[in-house]
């Protein structure tokens, strides 16, 4: 069982969260380059960074392709006028049937303002209300205290700690991962349900 397509674009109170395009490469590169020291302890993909603009174009082509084909749903997090990338997020089907995993990072200049919580809340709602999943997961390194606040603030339940299940960094050991989950039946009573968003399809049409 796959998932129904999630929205291409979400507008929240303070953010635009939308499918990446290859033309976003310069803005994405600026955000990643500026945030590398802050991201490195937590995001395994930063091992390959920094990369040049051509590599970013190729990456965003891949992201866009995956999104269009329904294989994976990476989003850019943008300022409301879409002039600045404020982070990256995604709805990832890699956690089994009828479920999506949310990942996120925030530009170092924009942390501590509740933006990760706003994005994760809107994507949680979109996963249930548009992709029609039964479960949303967020997986976090047990020592990533800042990140653990995000699912807890939204009403996710700490379900399990999987041992040595996070990929190792080069030369390192695999790390444990804490799995936070929310079920579709739990959304209405959760703080996530109060995160406002508007959703749009690939043609830019507002979704109900
Ligand atoms: C983790 C991260 C996404 C949080 O982004 P953010 O926009 O600052 O998060 P929010 O502002 O929504 O804050 C989340 C919580 O962290 C709290 N917080 C802020 N700074 C903190 C700190 N230094 N230590 C602990 N908690 C902190 C906030 O008060 C908030 O708590 P609350 O829910 O009780 O209000 C961001 O720091 C980041 O990009 N980190 C690097 C990448 C990463 O770790 N990604 C997640 C991988 S699972």
25 alpha carbon – ligand 1 mean position (Å): 25
105 alpha carbon – ligand 1 mean position (Å): 9
pLDDT of 1 reads: 53
**Least confident span in 5-19, 23-37, 87-101, 170-184:** 170-184
pLDDT of 170 reads: 78
Peptide bond into 50 cis (omega under 30): yes
pLDDT of 189 reads: 98
Residue 16 has pLDDT above 80, yes or no: yes
Token pair belonging to 105: 């990072």
For ligand 1, atom 28, which residue shows the shortest CA distance? 112
**Least confident span in 63-77, 118-132, 166-180:** 166-180
> Ligand 1: residues within 6 Å at CB?
38-39, 42-43, 104-106, 111-117, 140, 144-147, 149-150, 153
Which of 31, 110, 112 to probe ligand 1 with, by most ligand atoms within 8 A of CB? 112
Residue 38 has pLDDT above 60, yes or no: yes
pTM of the predicted model over 0.85: yes
Average model confidence (pLDDT) across the chain: 96
Got the DSSP string for the chain? ---PPPPSEEEESS-EEEE--GGGHHHHHHHHHHHHHHHTTT-GGGGG-S--HHHHHHHHHHHHHHHHHTS-EEEEEE-TTSSSEEEEEEEE-TT-TTEEEEEEEE-GGGTTSSHHHHHHHHHHHHHHHTS--SEEEEEE-TT-HHHHHHHHHHT-EEEEEEEEEEPPPTTS--EEEEEEEEEGGGSTTSGGGG--EEEE-TT-PEE-
* Section 61-78 average pLDDT: 98
> Residues 20-31: pLDDT tens digits?
999 999 999 999
In the chain the domains, ranked by start, together with CATH numbers, are 9-196 (3.40.630.30)
Which of 146, 162, 194 to probe ligand 1 with, by most ligand atoms within 8 A of CB? 146
Which atom of ligand 1 is least distant from the CA of 42?
44
pLDDT of 135 reads: 98
């Amino acid at each position: 069982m796959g998932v129904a397509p999630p929205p291409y674009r979400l507008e929240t109170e303070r953010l635009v969260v939308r499918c990446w395009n290859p033309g976003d490469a310069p803005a994405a590169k600026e955000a990643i380059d500026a945030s590398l020291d802050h991201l490195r302890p937590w995001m395994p993909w930063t091992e390959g960074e920094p990369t040049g603009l051509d590599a970013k174009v190729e990456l965003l082509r891949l992201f866009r392709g995956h999104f269009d084909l329904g294989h994976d749903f990476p989003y850019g997090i943008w300022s409301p006028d879409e002039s600045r990338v404020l982070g990256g997020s995604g709805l990832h089907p890699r956690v089994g049937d009828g479920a999506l995993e949310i990942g996120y990072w925030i530009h170092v200049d924009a942390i501590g303002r509740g933006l990760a919580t706003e994005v994760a809340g809107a994507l949680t709602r979109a996963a249930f209300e548009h992709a029609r999943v039964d479960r949303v997961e967020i997986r976090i390194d047990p020592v990533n205290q800042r990140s653990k606040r995000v699912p807890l603030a939204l009403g996710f339940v700490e379900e399990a700690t999987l041992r040595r299940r996070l990929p190792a960094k080069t030369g390192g050991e695999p790390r444990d991962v804490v799995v936070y989950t929310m079920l579709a039946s739990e959304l209405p009573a959760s703080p996530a349900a109060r995160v406002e968003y508007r959703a749009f399809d690939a043609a830019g049409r507002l979704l109900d």
